[in-house]
Each structure stands twice: as C-alpha cells, then as structure tokens.
Amino acid sequence: MKRQTLKPANRKLTGTIHVPGDKSISHRAVILGAISEGRTEVKHFLNSEDIMRTVKAFQEMGVAIKNSRDVLVIEGKGIEALEEPLHPLYFGNSGTTTRLMLGLLAGLPFFTSIHGDDSLTKRPMNRVVDPLKKMGAKIDGRDYGNLLPISIRGSVLKGIDYKLPVKSAQVKSCLLLAGLLAEGTTKITEDTLTRNHSEKMLKAFGADIHTENNTTTITNKNKLTASPVFVPGDISSAAFFLAAAAIVPGSRLVLKNTGLNKTRTGILDVLDEMGTGLEILSEEETGGEWTGDLQITHTELQGITIEGEMIPRLIDEIPIIALIATQAEGTTIIRDAEELRVKETDRIQAVVDVLTSMGANLEATADGMVIHGKTPLKGGIIPPYNDHRIAMMAAIASLIAKDETVLEDASPINTSYPDFFRDLNSVMN
C-alpha cells in the first residue's frame, strides 16, 4: 500500500507529456515476439507491472527476454520451443495477460496453472474458457474454470466459428491466438468493433489472418517470423492529461506520440463534442499503427450522451470522462457500458462512489451513469480499489478539489503508468 496525499493544483497546467507506451500493444508485442522465430526488438514498450507479468510468463517458459536500454529484446525460437513452466504463473492484476495467455496455453503440449491478485481472482474467465472448451481445450479452475486459479492441460485444438457474446478485444485476441495453433480455420465475428491491435500485429508477424467487415479469420500456422515493433504512446494514459487540461482553467498541454488507432480514439471524439480545444498537431503511421501529437486547451464544456459503438472505443477512459463530465454544463449520460462492472473493480460503482464523496452529483445505472454538471469538488479520502484507472482519476480530480485528497493506495498505478506522478508534477507550473 502506498498512501499519497495530493494538494489542489491552484495553477494552470502547461507543458509537454511524452506518453508512455501502449499497454495493449506492449502485451501483444511480448506474446508474438516470444512465439516467433528470430529476434524481436520492441521499442518504446511499456515498462510496467502488467507488462512484466507477460514477460515473466515467457521467461518461465524458456524464452530469453531482456530490457536493453529501453528496448525489449526477445530471442524467439518459435512456438515449439516453449517449455512447460516449473511453477504456477502469476499474472498479478493483469486481465489482458490472463485472457490472451489462456488462448495460447490451451494449445501448447504441456500443463500450466495460473493465478493472480485479489482483483484478478474475481474477474470472469468463462468468456474465454467456454469458447476454448468448444475448441477442445482442457481447462479447470474455481467455479468450473470461470475464476482463477485455473489449470490448463494443453491439447490439440480445432478451429471454431464464433460470434462474440461480449464486446471484448481480450476474448477476440484469446481466440485468435488459440486459432493460430488450432487445426483448420478459426472465424471470430463481433457486433461492435473492439481494439484491433492483435489482428494488425499478427499480420505483421506473418500469420495467415484477414478481416472482412467485423469477421476475422485465422488459419493454423505454427511458424511466425520476428518483426520489429514500435509501440505508440498509450491513449488511455494520455486521457488523464487530456482530462487535466480540460478541467483546470487556463491549461494547455501537448501530448507527444499518442496512439491514434481508430478503435481507441473515442476519447478524442468525446472531448471534441464536449467543446474542448483539442487539436491533432501531427499524424503518422508506424508499423501499422497511427500515432500523433495532440494539443488540448481548457475551455467551457458541455454535457453529452455516450453510447453504442462508441463504448468499446473508449471503454477504459470512462472513469476519467465521468470526472470531466462533472465540470461540464448540463447532463452527461453514459450507456451500454455494462462491461465496466467486471474490470479491475466494478468501475461504475467505484466512479460514482469516489466522485460523490468529492462532492459531484451523479448516479449509477445498470450499464453506465448519469452525471449532472457542473459541480465544485472537495477533497476526500479515497479507499483502495486495486484499480489503476480509479486511482489516476481521483488524482486528476484532486487538482480541482477545494482541499487535500488522500489516495489510501496509489500503488495500482504501477500496473499501467509507473511515472504518472512524475509526469503530473512536470506540468504543474
């Protein structure tokens, strides 16, 4: 537990943030690098606790991975060279590691068991375990494989034609990795497009994969070839600074090298609709992913409705959007976001509890929340939620609070943004 006391900003925020590497892309780079043949160099990878869970898992399966001057160097020897780990794999707080690795481990010819922290141990795994079992996977665990700890007896999988019942990139990615090892072809269809980093990166590593409309097809291929990866800045981390500038009067921030993949940029559309002064200063494509520099200037904000296909494009940004909405005139309604109830914590309830305790006027609904702006905020004592995004949201809220805010546990922030407070202090001029 790391207690952190935060004082109101009492001044505008100005300067430049170099956004840390994208968490989703970093996980995928480690996984694909580790199962490919050859050396994969991952530049600007996210050096955080969650990513290190994925790195450690492959090290325990015999893959040489080292951090050499901020480049992650993975010496892949191919899928067949992976070895049975001698100990249970510990995935900490990382849902992405767990769900993606389940897809891979299910098709490898050995036994593994996996466990995690208190938060991860409560998150549902049947969304991946059920379709994996249909592919022939042998998986068991608490609640018949729905909850960690889970054990996997790797087996021969067969392809599946599957329509995702939940809007989840983790489920899609898990099944694509399983499909890579499975006999025949695996076809995954989603109603609403979720982040597509796995599809892009699998293609770059030589997988036989293609997407048409909302269906992705992958065919068994045991040999992938190493490919260099440049990880763009994480738009989900940038979102906290976009919010800070949006709510602290007089602020102007530049966010360098932010990932701009269209499946992730819902936050930019929302900020634009709410009336912030947001500009994309530059844009370029690197290794199949778009990145760019953003500039945001504080202005008056307006409440809006966020729902439907927009939700997967900003699912992780909803806590910070809720904070922004407390400073917007009128009502903001968020719908179709029931997935938030099964993240690191129930993020609908946690956001409502934290912001209410700080003086905001909002209520939870089954699949979202209704936020009535604009309300002044006061400080408060924020209990531990074991959720990085709730902790960072409260830290940004503290900037405009009337008095001190205490985070009883700031340590979850290390899962995705270890330098968060350093970066925040650097723009408090």
50, 293, 316, 387: the catalytic one is 316
> How far is C-alpha 151 from the chain's CA centre?
24
Q: How many other C-beta atoms are found inside a 10 Å radius of the C-beta of residue 51?
A: 25
Closest residue to ligand SPQ using C-beta atoms: 95
x-marked contacts with ligand SPQ along 13-32 as a string, rule CB under 6 A? ----------xx--------
- In the chain, what is the greatest distance between 2 CA atoms, to the nearest angstrom? 61
- Region binding ligand SPQ by CB under 6 A among candidate stretches 132-140, 164-172, 301-309, 357-365: 164-172
Answer yes or no: 316 catalytic.
Answer: yes
Q: What does the buried/exposed string (b/e) look like for 412-428 if buried means 16 or more CB atoms within 10 Å of the residue's CB?
A: bbbbbbebbeebbeebb
**Which of 49, 316, 317, 423: binder of ligand SPQ (CB under 6 A)?**
316
Regarding 293 and contact with ligand SPQ (CB under 6 A), the answer is no
Q: Which of 315, 371 has the CB closer to ligand SPQ?
A: 315
Tell me if 35 sits within 8 A of 100, measured CB to CB: no
CA angle 169, 170, 175 (to 5 degrees): 100
**Which of 44, 200, 313, 389: binder of ligand SPQ (CB under 6 A)?**
389
- Region binding ligand SPQ by CB under 6 A among candidate stretches 147-155, 162-170, 238-246, 282-290: 162-170
**Which of 20, 21, 95, 380: binder of ligand SPQ (CB under 6 A)?**
95
Regarding 416 and contact with ligand SPQ (CB under 6 A), the answer is yes
**Which of 315, 328, 382, 396: binder of ligand SPQ (CB under 6 A)?**
315
Q: Which of 13, 114 has the CB closer to ligand SPQ?
A: 114
List the interface residues with ligand SPQ, window 191-210 (CB under 6 A).
195
**Which of 26, 36, 112, 168: binder of ligand SPQ (CB under 6 A)?**
168
Q: Which of 377, 392 has the CB closer to ligand SPQ?
A: 392
Q: How many residues does the chain have?
A: 429
Q: Which of 9, 102 has the CB closer to ligand SPQ?
A: 102
Question: Least Å distance between CB 46 and ligand SPQ?
Answer: 11
Regarding 344 and contact with ligand SPQ (CB under 6 A), the answer is yes
Give the span between the Cα atoms of 37 and 225, in whole angstroms: 5
Nearest to 82, CA basis, from 32, 47, 117 = 32
- Region binding ligand SPQ by CB under 6 A among candidate stretches 37-45, 167-175, 242-250, 396-404: 167-175
**Number of residues engaging ligand SPQ in binding (CB under 6 A):** 17
Give the span between the Cα atoms of 407 and 427, in whole angstroms: 20
Q: Is the dihedral of CA 353, 311, 327, 11 positive or negative?
A: positive
CA distances from 105 to 137, 171, 244 (A): 9, 14, 40
Give the span between the Cα atoms of 13 and 312, in whole angstroms: 29
**Cis omega (within 30 of 0) for bond into 374:** yes
Q: Which of 13, 32 has the CB closer to ligand SPQ?
A: 32
Q: How many other C-beta atoms are found inside a 10 Å radius of the C-beta of residue 129?
A: 25
Question: Least Å distance between CB 7 and ligand SPQ?
Answer: 27
Give the span between the Cα atoms of 163 and 175, in whole angstroms: 11
As given in the structure block, the two tokens for residue 4 are 């952190």
Give the span between the Cα atoms of 200 and 202, in whole angstroms: 6
Q: Which of 23, 298 has the CB closer to ligand SPQ?
A: 23
Regarding 169 and contact with ligand SPQ (CB under 6 A), the answer is yes
Give the span between the Cα atoms of 198 and 226, in whole angstroms: 15
* Binding interface with ligand SPQ (CB under 6 A): 23-24, 94-96, 168-170, 173, 195, 315-316, 339, 343-344, 389, 416
The residues annotated with a catalytic role in the active site are 316
